[in-house]
Amino acid sequence: MIRIGIICPSEIAYRRFMPALEKCSEFKYIGVAYPKVSEWNGASVANINIEMEKANHFRNEYGGKIFEGYQSLLESDEIDAVYLPLPPALHYYWAKKALNYNKHVFLEKPSTTSYKDTEELVALAKENNLALHENYMFIYHNQIDEIQRLIEQKTIGEIRLIRANFGFPKRAENDFRYNKKLGGGALLDCGGYPIKLMSLLLGNEMKIDSSRLIYNKNEIDLFGSVQLSNENIIAQISFGMDNAYKCDLEIWGSEGTISINRIFTAPVGFEADIYINTNNSEKIIHVEADDTFMKSILKFKQCIIDKNTRDIEYKELLKQIKLIEDVRGKK
């Protein structure tokens, strides 16, 4: 039994992580930590009281303990692993602390805000035989396997172009996504999804050809577009967090097209449809509902118990953050 605690009573932890965790018999939920004032730079007592109230909601809904301070959870002998749904700029600091306390770490994406920081976390995890897992959960949905199967079977002939878009309307002004100090920005928040998808579809030969990020007056990138390629395929991705909602994939081949909606955000119970158009005919493949968060948690378990799985995940972490940095650097 893997005993797990949560650092930060965030919305995604309450709404998505806990319902998925309850389906995983290999894990035992121990509790959630809210921060002390000293652990949140610039936080007021009112901010901390809000976090405390969220922690109480956790206990009322899911049971478990409430830890006063992130540090106290990490120091607990009752905890084997932690889930970190913190803003991106806080991932490195608290993940490093967790690893130093010999805890396995389940990170929300992105792993950190820089290749250097992720590289250091991977080295520390590897040195201590600890799992370090990044939660790009969409990759575990059945629709991804089906799309890869259709490509391999040349259902639409040779692939010429792949396009993916992920964006959503503007959120509240105080959302961490619009705070540079907390690791805000569209690239780190929603841009990582289509980058990850293209990495799966184009393989290890994929490279970043060009990119453009559009910034606001606070130096936060609100929108971006990237062109990628391997030897035979061109790919284009767009992402943004001040946009009309878009979450789709289109694959253009020599003999037809494949398109799908909700490629990145299929919720539990959602049955995906894949549209295939070839020679003026249309076919729809229905994909069964899936629970990608549960599958990601189970992948985390495999990282904990199996060295080969851990080593593969280490490489994936470094590959993903390197691609993100390449997007930043291309003009």
pLDDT digit string (tens) for 142-170?
999 999 999 999 999 999 999 999 999 99
At 313, which amino acid appears? E
Could you say which of 90, 113, 137 is where a domain stops? 137
The answer to whether residues 284 and 146 belong to one domain is: yes
Average pLDDT for 227-253: 97
CATH of the domain at 18: 3.40.50.720
Regarding whether 228 and 151 lie in a shared domain, the answer is yes
Sheet holding 221-229, edge to edge: 207-215, 221-229, 234-240, 159-167, 246-253, 256-261, 272-278, 281-287
Looking at the domain assignment, is residue 168 inside a domain?
yes
Considering the chain, what is the average pLDDT of its residues?
95
**Is 330 a residue whose pLDDT tops 90?**
no
* Model confidence pLDDT, tens digit, residues 102-136: 999 999 999 999 999 999 999 999 999 999 999 99
Active site residue 54: no
- Residue 181: count other Cβ atoms within 10 Å of its Cβ: 11
Rounded to whole angstroms, what are the CA distances from 267 to 142, 253, 263, 291? 12, 28, 10, 7
Tens-digit pLDDT profile for residues 3-29: 999 999 999 999 999 999 999 999 999
Same domain, 11 and 130: yes
Q: Which of 103, 109, 196, 299 is catalytic?
A: 109
pLDDT given at position 46: 67
Q: Are residues 156 and 169 in the same domain?
A: yes
pLDDT of residue 81 exceeding 90, the answer is yes
Q: Is residue 87 part of a domain?
A: yes
**Do 148 and 282 belong together in one domain?**
yes
| pLDDT over threshold 90, residue 241 | yes
Q: Considering Cα of 133, then 118, then 199, then 309, what sign does the dihedral take?
A: negative
- Determine the average pLDDT of the residues in 70-74: 98
Q: For residue 235, what pLDDT is reported?
A: 98
**Residue 38 domain-assigned?**
yes
Q: Is residue 15 domain-shared with residue 132, that is, in the same domain?
A: yes
SS (H, E, C) the chain: CEEEEEECCCHHHHHHHHHHHCCCCCEEEEEEEECCHHHCCCCCHHHHHHHHHHHHHHHHHHCCEEEECHHHHHHCCCCCEEEECCCHHHHHHHHHHHHHCCCEEEECCCCCCCHHHHHHHHHHHHHCCCCEEECCHHHHCHHHHHHHHHHHCCCCCCEEEEEEEEECCCCCCCCHHHCHHHCCCHHHHHHHHHHHHHHHHHCCCCEEEEEEEEECCCCCEEEEEEEEECCCCEEEEEEECCCCCEEEEEEEECCEEEEEECCCCCCCCCCEEEEEEECCEEEEEEECCCCHHHHHHHHHHHHHHCHHHHHHHHHHHHHHHHHHHHHHHCC
| pLDDT mean over 309-330 | 95
Residue 172 has a pLDDT of 87
The enclosing domain of 149 has a CATH number of 3.30.360.10
Tell me: pLDDT of 331 over 60: no
Residues 132 and 147 placed together within one structural domain of the fold: no
Q: 83, 113, 137: which is the final residue of a domain?
A: 137
Q: pLDDT band for position 44 (50/70/90)?
A: low
Residue 42 scores a pLDDT above 90 = no
96 has pLDDT over 90: yes
- pLDDT-based confidence at residue 40 (cuts at 50, 70, 90): confident
44: in domain: yes
Q: Is residue 309 part of a domain?
A: no
- Domain stop point among 91, 118, 137: 137
Our count of domains for the chain comes to 2
Range of the domain at 72: 2-137
Q: Does residue 294 lie within any of the structural domains?
A: no
268 part of a folded domain = yes
Evaluate whether residue 302 is within a structural domain. no
211-215: average pLDDT: 96
Question: Percent of the chain at pLDDT above 90?
Answer: 91
Confidence label for 43 from pLDDT (cuts 50, 70 and 90)? low
Same domain for 159 and 75? no
**What number is the average pLDDT over the span 83-95?**
97
Does residue 6 sit in the same domain as residue 128? yes
* CA-closest candidate to residue 236, choices 278, 274, 275, 202: 202
Same domain, 14 and 80: yes
Query: 262 and 168 share a domain?
Result: yes
Over the range 104-123, which residues count as b (16 or more CB within 10 Å of their CB) and which as e? bbbbbbbbbbbbebbbbbbe
pLDDT for residue 48: 87
Co-location of 100 and 153 in the same domain: no
